[in-house]
Amino acid sequence: MLKQFIILIFIVYTANIQCQQSYTPQTGELLFQDLDCGEFCDAIEKVTQGYGNKSFSHVGIAFIEDSSIFVIEAGSKGVVKTPFQTFINRSLDSLHRPKVIAGRLKHKYRYLTPSAISKSLNLLGKTYDDAFDITNDKYYCSELVYFAFMDKSGKSIFKLYPMTFIDPTNHKIFPAWERYFESLNIPFPEGKPGLNPGSISRCNKIKIMYSFY
């Protein structure tokens, strides 16, 4: 009986993992990721709560091309097009499931998808925005999403908020960010307009469709 029980548990677990991997994103969906990148990701996740009380430090845009799925994203290498499997396997939980959820624009806003993809593809190769300056021609992950989903009037469907790099538990600048901006020798952007993956994931203009974990 014990052996049969163990086999049953294994079958259920395996089926669950296969089910978790069966979701196929649609073009234009946003993929929110709990990225394990150390102090910086921890700091980003600590200042803004994501959908379902999850923590997200990265976001990309799904794009299907010739039956292959890619993610257009902005990271340290700039704006790039990453294979979907590479993206979701970048950060896994204790059960080896991708720490990613997929969000889709609500029907009212889906007309923006073609232009969002076109804009994103045109930005491939742009430099990463290490200063988090919404006014320059560089892009961090959430900034790419912000500019991609603009309507014809130039207004994004996503909202900007005053950025903070201060630890809410002790009201001091996160040491990682303090070292970071000092190394770049640029003004500290506390309070400047910006946005992060957590705030986008809670936006009422999208619907969360699937969680890989």
Look over the chain and give the mean of its residue pLDDT values, rounded to a whole number. Answer: 90
Q: What is the pTM of this model?
A: 0.87
Positive or negative CA dihedral for 140, 49, 148, 103? positive
Tell the residue number behind the tokens 């300056």, with chain if given: 133
pLDDT of residue 5: 44
Express each pLDDT in 92-144 by its tens digit.
999 999 999 999 999 999 999 999 999 999 999 999 999 999 999 999 999 99
How far CA 14 is from CA of 91, 100, 129, 147, 212, in Å, comes to 20, 19, 41, 40, 14
pLDDT digits (tens, 9 = 90+) for 178-199: 999 999 999 889 999 999 999 9
CA distances for 16 relative to 20, 39, 61, 171, angstroms: 6, 32, 26, 42
Kindly tell me if the per-residue pLDDT of 201 is higher than 90.
yes
More confident residue, 33 or 55: 33
Which runs of consecutive H residues, i.e. helices, occur in 30-97?
39-47, 84-88
- Scan for tokens 């990613």, then name that residue: 100
Question: Token pair of 172, please?
Answer: 């001091």
